[in-house]
Structure 1
Amino acid sequence: MAKPERHPRKTIPAASGPTNSAEEAKDGKDAGYNAGMAVFSYIIGGIIVWSLIGWGLDYLWGTRWIVLLGALLGAAGGFYLSHMHGLTRQGSSSGGSAADRGPSQDGAQ
């Protein structure tokens, strides 16, 4: 028996990315929205998890205040995580700080 011939597979060229500025602007808006949702998730998730831990400790030890401490610790931890991931920095429309942009262009020194 003769083996059938194998044809090489056709390769599909990779997409080159967004083709117009409207799609790029949409990506910028989505990035801000996604960062905001990540910050929200970190803070709310921290509050929920650490409140449950505090509630469990309150139940074991017969206290009533550790759940509040857990909620505060969770909020602070969530904000800390979002800050460490670079999600809480303030952006500027021109990019970079004023020192990075150089002297002003109005003639003032």
Structure 2
Amino acid sequence: MRNTRKRGQADHSAPIRGVSAPGVAADNTDGGYNAGIAVFSYIVGGIIVWSLIGWGLDYLWGMRWIVLAGALLGAVGGFYLSHMHGLTSSRKNADELHAPSAPSQDGKDSAK
């Protein structure tokens, strides 16, 4: 097959490297403050958007409880999105934080 791409034209079919979830650095390290702001914005944004949708449905259907269900759905959805983007999990290795929890190789207890 013949390459129909013109000279100097970039290949846009390859995935972009260095792009990750909001609040997470490109080298897959913890974003710290940025990750916290991303989680906060997902949750608060979800509450606002779904509360407005619930408010509109309340107005159309003449009910008063759908706005509360929308707010709850928005909070749960925002937390779910932040969890799926890896913003709520710890990025540190377990060995860096705690001593090994498994018994030692020689079978003796290393506690003093």
TM range (shorter): 0.5 to 0.7
Question: Which residue is 1:41 aligned to?
Answer: 41
Q: Structure 2 length normalisation: TM-score?
A: 0.58
Question: Which residue is 1:96 aligned to?
Answer: 93
**What SS does the aligned partner of 2:52 have?**
helix
State how far apart, in whole Å, the 1-side matches of 2:74 and 2:93 are: 32
Q: 1:103 to 1:50 in 2, by over 3 A?
A: closer
Gaps of 5+ in 2: 1-28
Give the percent of matched residue pairs that are identical in Structure 1 and Structure 2.
Answer: 72
Moved over 3 A (4+): 101-105
Q: Structure 1 length normalisation: TM-score?
A: 0.60
Residue 57 of structure 1 and its aligned partner are, at CA, apart by 0.2
Residue 102 of structure 1 and its aligned partner are, at CA, apart by 8.2
Number of aligned residue pairs: give it: 75
Gaps of 5+ in 1: 1-27
Residue deviations 1:53-106 (CA, integer Å, cap 9, x gap): 000000000000000000000000000000000000134xxx3124xx98589x
CA RMSD of aligned residues (A): 2.7
The structure carrying a bigger helix percent of its residues is: 1
